[in-house]
Structure 1
Amino acid sequence: MASYKQLTAELEKLHQEVAAAREKEIAQAIADIKQKVAEYDLTAEELGFKTERKPARKATSTSVARYRNPKTGETWSGRGRSPAWLAGKNRERFLIEM
């Protein structure tokens, strides 16, 4: 009976052979496919691949300022982290009249 080391070495050799055989067969399959595509002038759509791309998202407009610091004129839209000048203060005092 073979030892553990012999069996693991044999297994590793088999894994390498499997990987090499797979690479060889994949290369042959790709070559065959390319030849057929060229021969019949096939398109990606005819083969069932989607070539349609989604349109780019529209650029979102900037938010309207809702709060203003009367000392510096700095504004904040009310989205995201609140600015330091507004922290711990009554926000209603800084509301911009619309």
Structure 2
Amino acid sequence: MPMNLKELLAAKAALDAEIAAARKTESTEALRRVHQLVNEFGFTSQQVFPLVGLKAKNKGEAKYRNPETGATWTGRGKPPAWILDKNRDDFLIAQPEPEAGDRAPYLAEMAAAAGRNQASR
């Protein structure tokens, strides 16, 4: 016979408790093993966690490309020698047009729609 909602919720709660207990037991053992390996091989924290404390720099997406070398530039910061004193439009990287469903509505379109909605009330 199928269980009713109350029985299913009780079974789910019991299963969630078992999962939490198993996670705690296994994570404790995993951490013990990590400590053992770190001590055994003398790893430093920088070796174990090489990216901790390093900020990821957002370099931005390349906007210009040198057709001769393939070098790129985002358009921010000091311009590279290959684009200095030249028309930057000649080096623009073609950006794909977003599909109609991917474009967010423009504020003007939203304002116009809001105005139409107010007028129809």
Q: What is the TM-score when the length of structure 2 is the normalising length?
A: 0.40
Q: Name the larger-Rg structure.
A: 1
> Larger relative contact order (C-alpha < 8 A, sep ≥ 6)?
1
Q: What is the TM-score when the length of structure 1 is the normalising length?
A: 0.49
